[in-house]
């Protein structure tokens, strides 16, 4: 259920609603809107009739049942699009299309600093790079771990760009959160519910990738796990799903953009690098994603992809990324957006 407060409702009225929700055994979540606040009451749905009685409280406009299983992520709770603030200069979900770029994995100080300088010069807003790398093979490069986080922090200090990096388990989540500006949940962990709850408690923006065989509803239910712990700063990321097609690494589901825009207030970012697995296809998919209304892109860029420790074939060289960014501005402008 959601309790819709009247426009201009006093703080004491909201506090009373929060108190009553807790007394009834539900967990309240306040969502601030442009003109009024709504309060989600999350818990056992069998108590809907009891919650309906809150409509009589002062300052309450009405009490509305949420039909979707994903309560806090649903547009039933919040009609306007959510803005996720990363830094003073970077906000995801607004008119500006936010570009996250960098190598799949942090390999060395020179590599990550060169990458950061190159993508910053081309117009990227956020640096990406993996310090902890969950890989399909146990023999593949697993990342530099905390050493990689320190190098990402050094790149942030040098360029002023915030960075996004992956969290792979609850045990190392606090460590990653000490360094990172955005916590990424990878496709393989998109239904690791213990991890989703943990990052929900950390109050850092979360970039949640769609699982390889995950439906849109399952995707939003994973977001709900994060949000139910109190963290409303969730960014959805479509990175391709597994189908019968073998011409690309995955099948990039660009139709997810309008579908998610219809169902949720959360911003949506597209990952064409993992979505296609081939650097030749990355730019066209970036153009298409922005044209379809994506709020951001996360693109793999490496100064020497031929010798990359992971995902070299899908990584753009800095020069090609620069060319792509110049063309991308035209697609953004056509959609009344900016880069």
Q: Where are the beta strands (DSSP E) in the chain?
A: 2-5, 27-32, 37-42, 60-64, 84-85, 91-92, 98-102, 126-128, 163-166, 182-185, 206-209, 234-238, 268-270, 296-300
For 154-206, the pLDDT digits (tens) are 999 999 999 999 999 999 999 999 999 999 999 999 999 999 999 999 989 99
Domain boundaries, the chain: 2-64, 84-334
pLDDT tops 70 at residue 50: yes
Instruction: For domain 84-334, give the CATH superfamily.
Output: Aldolase class I (3.20.20.70)
Mean of the pLDDT values across residues 263-280? 97
C-alpha pair distances (Å), 281 with each of 51, 209, 252, 304: 51, 20, 11, 18
Whole-model pTM: value is 0.90
What is the rounded distance in angstroms from the CA atom of residue 106 to the CA atom of residue 129? 6
pLDDT, average across residues 255-273: 98
Q: Give the tens place of pLDDT for each residue, 144-159.
A: 889 999 999 999 999 9
- Given this model, what pLDDT does residue 27 score? 87
Cβ distance 242 to 213 under 8 Å?
yes
Q: With contact defined as beta carbons under 8 Å apart, do 9 and 32 qualify?
A: no
pLDDT of residue 53: 87
Residue 95 burial (C-beta neighbours within 10 Å; 0-12, 13-18, 19+): exposed
More confident site: 134 or 240: 240
Query: 2-64 is classed in which CATH architecture?
Result: 2-Layer Sandwich (3.30)
Residue 141 has pLDDT above 70, yes or no: no
CA–CA separation, 265 and 164 (whole Å): 21
Position 326 scores a pLDDT of 97
Which residue, among 228, 236, 175, 159, has the nearest Cα to 205 in the 3D structure? 236
């Amino acid at each position: 259920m959601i309790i819709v407060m009247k426009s201009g409702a006093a703080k004491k009225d909201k506090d009373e609603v929060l108190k009553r929700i807790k007394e009834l055994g539900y967990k309240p979540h306040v969502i601030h809107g442009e003109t009024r606040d709504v309060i989600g009451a999350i818990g056992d749905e069998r108590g809907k009739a009891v919650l309906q009685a809150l409509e009589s409280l002062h300052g309450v406009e009405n009490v509305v049942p949420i039909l979707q299983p994903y309560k806090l992520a649903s547009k039933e709770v919040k009609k306007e699009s959510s803005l996720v603030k990363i830094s003073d200069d970077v906000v995801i979900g607004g008119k500006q299309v936010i570009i996250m770029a960098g190598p799949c994995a942090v390999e060395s100080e020179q590599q990550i600093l060169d990458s950061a300088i190159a993508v910053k010069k081309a117009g990227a807003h956020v640096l990406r790079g993996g310090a902890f790398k969950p890989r399909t093979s146990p023999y593949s490069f697993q990342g530099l771990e905390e050493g990689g986080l320190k190098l990402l922090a050094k790149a942030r200090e040098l360029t002023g760009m915030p960075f996004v990096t992956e969290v792979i388990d609850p045990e190392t989540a606090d460590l990653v959160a000490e360094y990172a500006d955005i916590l990424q949940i990878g496709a393989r962990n998109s239904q690791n519910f213990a991890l989703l709850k943990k990052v929900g408690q950390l109050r850092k923006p979360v970039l949640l990738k769609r699982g390889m065989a995950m439906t849109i509803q399952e995707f939003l239910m994973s977001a709900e796990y994060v949000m139910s712990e109190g963290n409303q700063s969730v960014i959805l990321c479509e990175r391709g799903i597994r189908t019968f097609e073998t011409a690309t690494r995955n099948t990039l589901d660009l139709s997810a953009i309008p579908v998610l825009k219809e169902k949720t207030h959360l911003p949506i970012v597209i990952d064409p690098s993992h979505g296609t697995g081939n650097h030749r296809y990355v730019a066209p998919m970036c153009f298409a994603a922005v044209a379809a209304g994506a709020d951001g892109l996360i693109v793999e860029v490496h100064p020497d992809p031929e010798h990359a420790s992971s995902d070299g074939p899908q990584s753009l060289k800095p020069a090609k990324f620069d060319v792509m960014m110049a063309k991308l501005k035209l697609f953004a402008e056509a959609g009344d957006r900016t880069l």
